[in-house]
Amino acid sequence: MKVTLINPQFSFFNRSEKILSQCLGLLYIASYLRSKGHEIFFIDALQEGFDHEEILETGIIKVGLSNEDIIKRIPKETDIIGIGGAFSHMAPSLHVLIKDIKNKLPHIPLVMGGVYPSSQPELAITSEADFLAIGEGEHTMEKLMDYIQNNMEGELPPAIIPKSDPSYLNKAKREMIKDVDALPFPARDLIPFEKYVGRSQRNTRGWRSASILSSRGCPYDCEFCSIHAVAGRAWRMRSPENVLSEIDFLVDKYDINNIEFEDDMLTLKRDRIVKIMDGIIDRNKNGKKIYWQALNGIRFDTLDEDLLLKFKEANVRHINLALESGDKDMQKIMGKKLDLNKVMEIMTLVEKHKVPMHVFVIFGYPGETMERFDNAVQFYKKIKTIAPSAQFKFFIAQPYPNTKLFQRAVRLGYLPADLFDKLDSFNQFSTSSQVWLETEDFDKKEVLRRKKILFKSVFNTTEYIIQRIQDSFPDPIVNFLYSLHYFLERVKKKL
């Protein structure tokens, strides 16, 4: 069959957030279907129309090709169209795009997959898409295509919800791929990948970057996390040999020198990550120049001194450490369940070995009394005492749809149960700055006051200024200012 896969326009809350997606999910599906003999045509509306912006009435910036241009690019001989819904806040524009496609090409079956339909199938089914695919899409798309080729007779794939029969909302079951080593690497040849490498998925510039997903799923149960809707709780790893083979391909084919690991649990199995690091070290000894970053949060309790030293030897550029809260009660409430003594131990080692890192913190979280907030602030101050180079990233709690946090907020009366039943709800859904939750312990004004307290408590004057401009400038500029500041600090100490 002939398949058209579409990475749609993205929505951003300000220009500083504009990024290019490396389309890993869709390109994995493309490579897998191609390995089964299907012909793939790929439309990356974001990249192809990156300079085209539309300011919506809500102030959101929609970036990418117009719907008309997307439709013009769909080959007439297409047998099925697949569209990725990477984020829930893209839902309003996704519905419009799908409606426009179906108006022009009503005879071509259209399936929508990704985070949005996987986490909110009840809302996604109100779009004009013929099918929703929930969970991981490789095997599900293959089975759906077999079903369509069979004149839509027989049983639907278990992870497919047809618009024609909403009862499947209660029947559909996500299919998780057990042997992720068996999947071919993402079909990066379907996109002009050279246009992506200079501006990474996390907006890193000045490097030749590529994203890699070396494992899927997460066995932990953090209340705020939305990853389980797509990747599930079963952690499935790619072997070190398989991961290193992809790194070799990226270095040899595209001259990549910066690997961005997108895993939610990169370091869960120690022996595996050590072998990956050893592989990078060996390649660098043989003339390669490979650096890497871990940009989703790493758990403190998966680290130790030897592993941190291995990171350094393997040219680590940056890791993000997922603390979330410095108060032990909040750790339990969030479902994070970290030993804060272990956190301090690791922070001491991170500072000792000068591993570049950010510490992730969430605040404005249900259950965060003033006492618990104060406890957390004191903990962050202790971190800065033992690890002056620690860079904090503060995030306002976001009740992502159908997460345990959202469900608890509804149960306690902090949010209406139908909050995300309408597309309009997503017009202002931010991942960092919007205050959605007000409890008996804080209102919106108090949350913003606590944000200022956090900034003033752990940042010196220079760092505070950098944080204050973070909403106005892209991360590369902020990171550069941080790097410059700490370089000057080191120079001062030597003088």
Strands 110-113 and 215-216: unpaired
> What is the C-alpha separation between 224 and 362, in angstroms, rounded?
10
Amino acid at site 182 = A
Query: Dihedrals φ, ψ of 128, to 5°?
Result: -90, 5
DSSP labels, 34-93: HHTT-EEEEEEHHHHTTT-EEE-TTSPEEES--HHHHHHHS-TT-SEEEEE---GGGHHH
Q: Helices 475-494 & 461-468, crossing angle to 10 degrees?
A: 170
Element (H, E) at 246: helix 240-254
Largest Cα separation within the chain, whole Å, is: 78
> How does residue 363 score in pLDDT terms, banded at 50, 70 and 90?
very high
Calculate what percentage of the chain has a pLDDT beyond 70.
92
Element (H, E) at 386: helix 370-386
CB-based contact 194:254 (threshold 8 Å): yes
Q: What is the pTM of this model?
A: 0.91
Task: State pLDDT tens for residues 325-334.
Answer: 999 999 999 9
**Who has greater pLDDT, 16 or 131?**
131
> What is the C-alpha separation between 441 and 418, in angstroms, rounded?
23
User: Once rounded to an integer, what is the mean pLDDT over residues 405-425?
Assistant: 90
What is residue 429's predicted lDDT score, i.e. its pLDDT? 59
**pLDDT for 469 beyond 90:** no
**pLDDT for 433 beyond 80:** no
433: helix, strand or coil = coil
Nearest to 114 by CA among 82, 142, 86: 86
Neighbours of 36 (CB within 10 A): 12
> How does residue 55 score in pLDDT terms, banded at 50, 70 and 90?
confident
> What is the C-alpha separation between 464 and 458, in angstroms, rounded?
9
Task: State pLDDT tens for residues 292-347.
Answer: 999 999 999 999 999 999 999 999 999 999 999 999 999 999 999 999 999 999 99
167: helix, strand or coil = helix
> What is the C-alpha separation between 243 and 222, in angstroms, rounded?
27
175: helix, strand or coil = strand
Domains of the chain: 2-170 (3.40.50.280), 193-458 (3.80.30.20)
Strands 10-12 and 61-63: antiparallel
Average pLDDT, rounded, for the chain: 91
What is residue 27's predicted lDDT score, i.e. its pLDDT? 98
**pLDDT for 475 beyond 60:** no
Nearest to 98 by CA among 112, 117, 87: 112
Strands 53-55 and 258-261: unpaired
Tell me 239's DSSP state: P
Tokens matching residue 411: 């149960």
Nearest to 212 by CA among 222, 224, 226, 202: 202
Element (H, E) at 479: helix 475-494
